[in-house]
Amino acid sequence: MDWEKAQECDPSLDKMLWVVAKKDPRGWAAKEMYICSSEPPYWNLDPKVAFARPCGLYAGLQIDGTRTAEQQCKAYVAKKHRTPR
């Protein structure tokens, strides 16, 4: 990837590309894209927004030394279903 074309990125910071995509018969379609993330967006998830997506989307993504984002998502969803509305 040519980071010089991502002009809004700070050249002195680390960068990574994070994309949420869905495959359909025509190919892949990006649903969300973070171009200049200096850390993975899943480190600071807003549960009400992020966990509306399927928890399997976060499989294998480490938040810290003991938890994955998928585990955090499943715990949030389970708690939400137990809590009276």
pLDDT in tens, 21-67: 888 899 998 877 878 877 777 677 778 877 888 888 888 888 888 88
The dihedral through the CA atoms of 63, 64, 67, 68 has a sign that is: positive
Measured CA angle at 43 (ends 73, 37), to 5 deg:
130
Q: What is the DSSP letter of 54?
A: -
pLDDT the model gives residue 43: 72
Task: Note the pTM of the prediction, 2 decimals.
Answer: 0.58
Residue type, 46: D
In the chain, % helix, strand, coil (3-state, to 5) comes to 35, 25, 40
